[in-house]
Structure 1
Amino acid sequence: MNNTEHFANIMVERFIAAVNRGIDLVPVVADSTSTAKIAPFIKEFPDRLVNVGIAEQAMVGTAAGLALGGKVAVTCNAAPFLISRSNEQVKVDVCYNNTNVKLFGLNSGASYGPLGSTHHSIDDISVMRGFGHIEIYAPATPSQCRQIIDYALEKKGPVYIRLDGKELPELLNEDYHFEPGKIDLVASGNDIAIVGLGSALYEAVEAANRLTLQGISAKVLSVPSIRPCNTQQLANELAQVKSVITVEEHNVNGGLGDLVSEVIAEQGLAVRLKRLGIPDGEYALAGDRKSLRAAHGFDAKGIEAQAITMIRGH
């Protein structure tokens, strides 16, 4: 796990590869060329980039127009501004009209750390789950990221991809194969399941390793595919344990925690659930990621403590 990669770099790499294999791809940015790390693409294809300036609504509307003209349009800017500032255009121009636009939410969650609530995106999944037609993904590892982007660029129709803003190492095996909807088993365990979204999956894995030293066997699941989601596969995995913890750098409402709670309720599973993330009615604290996750209780230590409480009652 020494080699780390930034998801924005992977995104640009896959854009270049897509054009080279014949996809008529046009990135649209809102003065966000630096955020998107898209300079290598501009160097290769200087006439393909559209920069609308600091105008996210125009960015999404332009992308929808390009898609209606036969292009594969991709928007590349910070997740909080994409989701909040251009909410109506995402809803109507992209989702309602089912246009072939791929929305990339960069530096998602609390990736911007000390910049605070204006730059944190802790509600994007909840917003996007309220819209129709669009598929929703949140890769956790470089291999997931590459394969999800390649899939999205080939698929006809709207896709939202939530990308973390920090360099991350690989957790999955070399033979990993992404499938839309699939739940990925990262570690096996019998006592408790820890379900992770995006970069919070790394906290889940570390927590599981710590729990092993406590004599607790923790299953770790990754859910990179929010919609579609193989809810039956998820239910089957959760039914094998008595306690479940969800972990996400997102509000506990509307994201992974709600998705898992819906599956538990609808399937009538006899399991206890604790949702960890940004608590109900709160904003993410302004600060570095390590401190922020510790303060909100979803770093590895916090997950470990919650698991022990659920299993041993103390």
Structure 2
Amino acid sequence: MSFLHWPTQLHLPPPSSVFAQSLCHRIPTYHPNDVHEPQLALILTEKIKESSDGNSQVFRAKWQIGGSESRNESETASVLGIPGSTVICKVGYGERRVRSLIKEATFYEKLVDIQGSCIPRIVGFFVGEVNPEEGRTAVLVMQDCGDALWKDLKKYSLDIRMAAVRSLMRVHHYGVRHRDFEERNLVLNENDDESVSITLVDFGMSEDHAPPCCPRSQVISIGGIAPTPDNFGCYELYNACVAAGIWKPLEFAFMGSTVPTNWALGTREELMKRVRDELDAKRMCLAWNEDEIEEYMPMECEEIMNELAQWDKDNDGLKELLLLSTTQ
């Protein structure tokens, strides 16, 4: 059985001395029959975040195999199957947090085929009792993929936004719904070929997708008008596309009502005529009198046209580019 040498505080030296070992807990692997998990020793270097109750923490750590300092970085990296000299450790204290991490580890295991590409590679999962008064502790050790996005997804370049949507598409393809697609869980990677990719992290709220594969019924048309959520078929992926800003809005606010975006694809005069036709046919009801409509309708139509033009400018005049595959 393999063990994790878990330090009791930040910046402790590796457990290569009797003193250092006395300040570490030995937490056994959750999979006692898995002989492939290495003996891991960690030096915690940074606390990334902590829950309000203190029972869930995320650390960045330097690692060694078996507490030995004799291996160089490339040798230890080949053992763990990850690049770099650091890992991320997600820790849960107490039974509720331990059960949550066991569930999360199960989803990472289900997604093993895409670990190291659009989700982190898992190094090991360890569960044990380090303090009888506090119950069990669980530590999920994974590849350090970098830092999360720090501003709204739609404010990033198109290739980053597309990469985020692709990562979620691949997770859905393997039958998992993430349920927490937020910037804090999207990690940006710059690859050797100058391309970018997004690693999706934190599967603590995930659940199985029903049906087993994503029920999305439409090709994602980048730069096109957003479909309706019901017609698209998958609400999580739909909301991710909206968050990424890869579609024109489905509709625009108009004098207390809404007008479909496709009405505004021509000129302002054509938009005004379409609105007037709908009003005359009483298919569009506004809580405005005729004088107010005549006064404000041109300004409202102009605002819609300006918003649409700004969208095109912000997205470099995108045309109908297509994401053709869920496995790209």
| TM bucket normalised to smaller | under 0.3
Rg (Cα) greater in structure = 2
Structure with a larger share of its residues in helix: 1
Calculate the TM-score normalised by the size of structure 1: 0.26
Q: TM-score, normalised by structure 2?
A: 0.25
